[in-house]
A and B are shown apart, each in its own frame.
Chain A
């Protein structure tokens, strides 16, 4: 048995280290370390509640709209208020744009470049993959980055500035979209659709949206001249469906809420089906985290760093539901929503895998572009984009939303008109959780066990594939 430390990782948002025990070329045990902590929860305490709308998004420059919307949702729930119908739609448009950008950035800039590593030289797909995806020199980024920049003009129109937008408020958005802006938004979505159809999928969005079974997927792959097909070919050659098995349970808080409905529902999915989600069952454990012991429910927990704590190895806490770790992200959202293909793949493989996680993200981009076109049509331009209500002085409420990487929650307690306590559990806190007091490992820690690293040890590409398949956002993880 040898122990190695892998890290720091590049092409990952933020700082990450993984300690691995490797026996005969196979990972026997993993400890995932979040190495960065800033103390947002302590900073938010004592401030006026509306300050959360400015401070909380600054947890992360990649998913700032998700943080904004979680904070705005929490404040809205504190007041028991409703946003204007247009407010939900405009916020959804911006939020979906950010999440699509995150998914595509993950695919083009973070995940695919690993297949251009020298250890794959000799594979049939190696030369074209190097030409297309190798970091810095590959030609895919030259096509993707302008498409991404174009997509994010949506942020300019709706949110003024991105990252760290200010337009998202409990009552809706500060920006009333006018008819000219609606046309511009439609044009941006049309351009994004062209990029997805011609470059990413090589087939139409309708084709992707109508996929139900593995046979449908195979039929599309045969026709796809896009990067989607290239990924599937590589995934099958390397058996990525058998790599990086998740812990079993998948969590989604539900996403893209409107006044009465939401595009994706909340729930917990396992191999036996989907069960309802109960927010009161969430706990956070600090047995192996550099924090002093505290209450386990997010409403009551304090976040007090203890850098000298014996046995601790991460700045992340260990969130659990009924004592169990949860995997979260696009695969979880689509499974909870009953997407037939993603559900079938997870059932077939006996859980999530590197292949299904990546596939689910790509499928979700198609679902979102389609939904955005619908939201744009639903906007009633002459009606309000924001409602108004006063916040109570003493109350507590949560804002539970989905960021690109999965379930994001803000738990807020107000006392005397000020924030008394603020707790945040981010998607990668779930996925890259350390062990809890029972010794139960987090999702990535479980997914790494059994991964063959061969002679390359911590340098093996398989390790990179598993870690990156979760699309970690480390600055959100410990905040």
Chain B
């Protein structure tokens, strides 16, 4: 890892041709909504700028974000980005283990001080001083703060890192807490969804590593290029909503005709995400296309808004509706960041002293 290595150097070393590289730039530029000039600018940036290392960490989570990410549709995007990232650190797929992995983190922290991106999947639980998620013998929350200190910016992958997700659902047994309630002094980009769409994830990483800065964010901290429209706005079943044609039961006659799922509890009208345009699993489908409503998994607090199968009562059937920012203001953060203090010896201390005694 030479200090001046560029992204282009890395992918050439992976055996990727110049031609594929050019194609990669034009495809990615297109997916980010840039024209031909944007592709050229990307190419130039990737050839001349120092590569931005990405460190990927896992907290309290289920790995669905990683699962989504490694299935990104464009094979080159996946290979390039996976190799870029795994050069550095990822818990699930990288080669190093144990102490070696910790050493990579330490090295990146020093060598790329202020220059690396910290991508976080999952979130820290704060109850019992973080003992519900122990990573390398210490609470994840400590490791997160330690790696965040010297990061340029933080990517909060998925609903867990962005908002808390189902593990923060009432009664939030572990006090699972989103990243921006713990890290206050760094730019954070939220890429919500449970999981987020693969192409959205690769798009975000590519943008940041190419231009060395975050894309434009909305007031909730999400990249505007992917989260400015509602599922409902681009839903292929929308004409049936407008015509008042609804599914009343799973797989009924209306379902076979592709009617609207609003009465089955679809949250498409209040959910900002790219599912109805980008779609899932190689652009094959998305939940509404499988006959089930949207549950709004990219929205803050989606897990505690009543049954997933209750119909929305807050939307207007026709006419002008609220924009993303207004929705954002009403969806108040439900997760506090209180730390429960223990009068007696703390759980973490017990765990770490046990290790010191036993670690040979």
Task: List chain A positions with a Cβ less than 8 A from chain B.
Answer: 2-15, 17, 19, 35-40, 42-43, 46-48, 50-51, 53-55, 58-62, 64, 84, 109, 113, 134-136, 142, 145-146, 148-150, 152-153, 155-167, 169, 171-176, 305, 307-308, 315, 384-386, 388, 458-459, 464, 475
Contacts and interface: CB of A to CB of B under 8 A. Distances in A.
B288 A171 contact: no
Interface in B68-97: 68, 70-71, 73, 75, 78-79, 83, 86-87, 91-97
B338 interface: no
Given A43-B173, A134-B95, A307-B347, A58 B166 contact: yes
Contacts of B167: 38-40, 43, 58
A163 B83 CA distance: 23
A37 B132 contact: yes
| A-B CB proximity, top 9 nearest | A61-B64, A160-B290, A156-B284, A39-B173, A156-B281, A135-B95, A174-B291, A386-B251, A166-B292
Given A160-B292, A174-B291, A10 B360 contact: no
Q: Interface size for chain B: under 10, 10 to 19, 20 to 34, or 35 or more residues?
A: 35 or more
- Candidate in B71, B86, B131, B255 with the most chain A CB atoms within 10 angstroms: B71
Contacts of A160: 280, 285-292
A306 to B, nearest CB: 10
B282 A153 contact: yes
Interface string B46-84: 000000000000101111111110110101001100010
Contacts of A459: 98
Contacts of B166: 40, 43, 54-55, 58
A7 B171 CA distance: 31
B137 interface: yes
A35 B292 contact: no
B83 A136 contact: yes
Contacts of A458: 98
Interface in B313-346: 344
A50 B309 contact: yes
- Candidate in B93, B128, B285, B355 with the most chain A CB atoms within 10 angstroms: B285
A159 B86 CA distance: 30
Given A36-B60, A146-B75, 15 more contacts: A15-B135, A54-B166, A64-B64, A135-B94, A135-B95, A136-B93, A136-B95, A162-B280, A163-B64, A173-B251, A173-B291, A175-B290, A308-B344, A385-B251, A386-B251
A38 B290 contact: no
B225 to A, nearest CB: 20
Contact of A386 (B63, B137, B250, B358): B250
B169 A159 contact: no
A35 B308 CA distance: 30
Given A156-B282, A174-B290, A55 B169 contact: yes
A5 B359 contact: yes
Contacts of A176: 251, 255-256, 291
Contacts of A173: 251, 290-291
B74 to A, nearest CB: 11
A61 B359 contact: no
19 contacts: A10-B91, A15-B135, A39-B172, A39-B174, A50-B307, A54-B295, A55-B169, A61-B64, A61-B68, A136-B94, A157-B284, A160-B280, A161-B280, A163-B68, A165-B290, A166-B290, A174-B292, A307-B128, A458-B98
Interface in B287-312: 287-293, 295, 297, 303, 307-309
A163 B67 contact: yes
Contacts of B174: 37-39
A268 to B, nearest CB: 30
B358 A13 contact: no
B136 interface: yes
B280 A174 contact: no
A459 B176 CA distance: 33
A163 B291 contact: no
A46 B256 CA distance: 34
A475 B122 CA distance: 12
A161 B256 contact: no
B205 interface: no
Interface string B119-143: 0000001001001111111000000
B189 interface: no
Nearest to B247: A174
A212 B255 CA distance: 46
Contact of B287 (A36, A51, A64, A166): A166
A153 B281 contact: yes
A167 B291 contact: yes
Interface of B: 58, 60-68, 70-71, 73, 75, 78-79, 83, 86-87, 91-98, 101, 125, 128, 131-137, 165-167, 169-174, 176, 194-195, 249-251, 255-256, 275, 279-282, 284-293, 295, 297, 303, 307-309, 344, 347, 350, 355, 358-360
Nearest to B167: A38
Contact of B195 (A5, A35, A61, A175): A61
A161 to B, nearest CB: 4
Contacts of B358: 3-5, 19
A385 B255 CA distance: 11
B93 A61 contact: no
B290 A159 contact: yes
A96 to B, nearest CB: 16
A145 B256 CA distance: 34
Nearest to A39: B173
B236 to A, nearest CB: 12
Given A10-B92, A164-B297, A176-B255, A43 B171 contact: yes
A124 B40 CA distance: 48
B110 to A, nearest CB: 21
A84 B255 CA distance: 16
Contacts of B251: 84, 172-174, 176, 384-386
Contacts of A155: 280-281
Contacts of B98: 6-9, 458-459
- Candidate in B83, B166, B290 with the most chain A CB atoms within 10 angstroms: B290
Contact of B91 (A8, A161, A386): A8
A156 B287 CA distance: 9
Nearest to B78: A145
Nearest to A64: B64
A118 B85 CA distance: 23
A161 B290 contact: yes
Given A36-B60, A475-B62, A4 B281 contact: no
Nearest to B101: A10
B307 A48 contact: yes
A158 B287 CA distance: 10
